Amino acid sequence: MSYLNDKKLESLEATANRIRRSIIEMLVEAGSGHSAGPLGMADIFTALYFHILNHDPKKPDLPERDRVILSNGHICPVLYATLAHAGYFPISELKTLRALDSRLQGHPHRGTLPGIETTSGPLGSGISQAIGVALAANLDDQKHFVYCLTSDGEHQEGNTWEAIMFAGKKRYELHRLIVIVDRNNIQIDGFTEDVMPLEPFMAKYAAFNWHVQEVDGHNIEAFVDAVTEAQAIYEQPSIIIAHTIPGKGVSFMERDYRWHGKPPSKEEAVRALKELRTLGGSIVSEHE
């Protein structure tokens, strides 16, 4: 991972804003999909693909690449937009989201797009998938990191905690497994703490022998620092609980759980894009 200076940080923030604009454009074109989660995770995906990961869009199957496992597959618009802006496929293809025969379906499918490591959809299975990938790397004596992106709401799934317990067992040596939780406090039926309380979240992971950190998920510098610390841990897997604002950057979506699973209308998209343009980012997308 290279040094994060002020110029690079400014570039990352501009890229995150471009990705948010692409997300809105994708969703309004599709007429379906999830808005809040993808917008909230744009900073983290930008930090990963444009600064942290060892990867090469021109060689998506590079053996030594870091692996990214998306557990909460419904936020795939942010993954698709990030991959496109990183150069894995044309940005123009983003507007085929959820269309018949499109490579960009409502949940990612392994083998359809370069850069997609696993198929996701059923919530709660991503950490288990990431554990399998990390165990395989150990068997092959590979040194890449495995990053698993997961939601707070799917921690209401029992198999998630089975995976967390398994990964914490020292004999498996899963210190290259780094899980990132989108702690946005919402799910489709409301706020997580009303539906099924998760707190004390950090203490639960610590009890299962994980190295635990929490960060502001919109502070790219703080997130990069947290990943750097996680990479330096050799005794246990790491969890980074990233506090994010669902719908980040669009005022009428922010913190409103009703935007968890719906796209903007054409009029709402115009408003959203206008707001996002005021946030800055000198590099415009192909759509503008």
**Are residues 191 and 257 in contact, defined by beta-carbon separation less than 8 angstroms?**
yes
| pLDDT above 70 coverage of the chain, percent | 97
Compute the mean pLDDT over every residue in the chain, rounded to the nearest whole number: 95
pTM across the whole model: 0.95
Q: What is the pLDDT of residue 111?
A: 93
Confidence of residue 278 (pLDDT cuts 50, 70, 90): confident
Confidence of residue 283 (pLDDT cuts 50, 70, 90): very low
Nearest to 32 by CA among 267, 286, 263, 273: 263
E-state strands within 79-176? 146-151
Q: What is the pLDDT of residue 186?
A: 96
The pLDDT tens digits of the residues spanning 40-73 come to 999 999 999 999 999 999 999 999 999 999 999 9
Q: List domains and CATH numbers for the chain.
A: 6-278 (3.40.50.970)
Q: Which residue has the higher pLDDT, 183 or 286?
A: 183
Nearest to 42 by CA among 222, 231, 191, 249: 249
Confidence of residue 288 (pLDDT cuts 50, 70, 90): very low
DSSP for 58-102? Answer: TSTT-TTPPEEEESSGGGHHHHHHHHHHHTSS-GGGGGGTT-TT-
Confidence of residue 285 (pLDDT cuts 50, 70, 90): very low
The pLDDT tens digits of the residues spanning 213-243 come to 999 999 999 999 999 999 999 999 999 999 9
Q: 233 — alpha (psi -120 to 50), left (phi > 0) or beta? A: beta
User: Residue 75's CB: how many other CB atoms inside 10 A?
Assistant: 29
The pLDDT tens digits of the residues spanning 108-127 come to 999 999 999 999 988 999 99
CA 55 – CA 274 distance, rounded (Å): 33
Q: What is the pLDDT of residue 2?
A: 80
Mean pLDDT in residue range 172-197: 96
Q: What is the pLDDT of residue 1?
A: 81
Q: Is the pLDDT of residue 211 over 80?
A: yes
Mean pLDDT in residue range 96-115: 96
Q: Is the pLDDT of residue 284 over 90?
A: no
Find where tokens 């998506």 sit: 60
Confidence of residue 274 (pLDDT cuts 50, 70, 90): very high
Q: What is the pLDDT of residue 287?
A: 34
Q: What is the pLDDT of residue 280?
A: 59
